Amino acid sequence: MITDAQPPVRPWGQAWRLLAAAALGVLLWLVTASQLPVGATGPRVDWLTTGDPLIALACLIALLWRRRFPVVITTAVILASTVSVLAAGAALLALCSLATRRRPAETAVAAVLSVVTAVLTVGLYPQREVPGPLWLLISLPALLVGIVVAVGAAIGARREEVRSLRERVESAEREQAARAAEARIMERHRIAREMHDVLAHRVSLVAMQAGVLGHRPDLPADQVAELARGIADGSHQALEELRDVLGVLRASPDELEPPQPSLADLPSLVADARALGLDVTLTVTTSGEPPGSVARTVYRIVQEGLTNAGKHAPGAEVGVTVEGEAGGGLRATVRDSGAARAIAGPPASGYGLLGLSERVGLAGGELDHHPEPGGGFVLTARLPWPVREGSE
pLDDT by residue for the chain (392 residues), tens only, comes to 444 555 566 778 788 888 988 898 888 888 888 877 777 778 888 888 888 889 989 998 998 888 888 889 988 998 888 888 888 888 888 889 888 887 888 888 988 988 888 888 877 777 777 676 777 778 888 888 889 889 888 988 888 888 888 888 888 888 888 887 787 777 667 666 666 666 666 677 777 777 766 666 777 777 777 777 777 777 777 777 677 666 655 555 444 455 678 888 899 888 888 876 788 999 999 888 888 888 888 998 898 888 888 777 777 889 999 999 888 889 999 999 877 665 555 445 456 777 788 888 888 889 999 888 878 899 999 999 887 654 44
Q: Which of 114, 131, 148 is the last residue of a domain?
A: 131
Q: What's the total number of domains in the chain?
A: 2
Query: Is the entire prediction scored with pTM above 0.75?
Result: no
- Gap between the Cα atoms of 153 and 147, Å rounded: 10
Beta bridge partner(s), residue 371: 377
**Range(s) of the domain holding residue 17:** 11-131
- What is the Cα–Cα distance from 262 to 58, expressed in whole angstroms? 87
Of the candidates 158, 154, 152, 193, the one whose C-alpha atom is nearest the C-alpha of residue 67 is 152
Element (H, E) at 65: none
Please report, for the domain that includes residue 389, its CATH number: 3.30.565.10
Q: Is residue 174 part of a domain?
A: no
- The secondary structure of 218-240 as a DSSP string is T--HHHHHHHHHHHHHHHHHHHH
Does residue 80 belong to any structural domain of this protein? yes
End-to-end Cα spacing for the chain: 60
Report the alpha-carbon distance of residue 388 to residue 290 in Å, rounded: 10
CA separation for the pair 136, 165 (Å, rounded): 43
Per-position b or e across 98-111, b if 16+ CB within 10 A of its CB: bbbbbbeebbebbb
The domain boundary, picked from 105, 131, 157, lies at 131
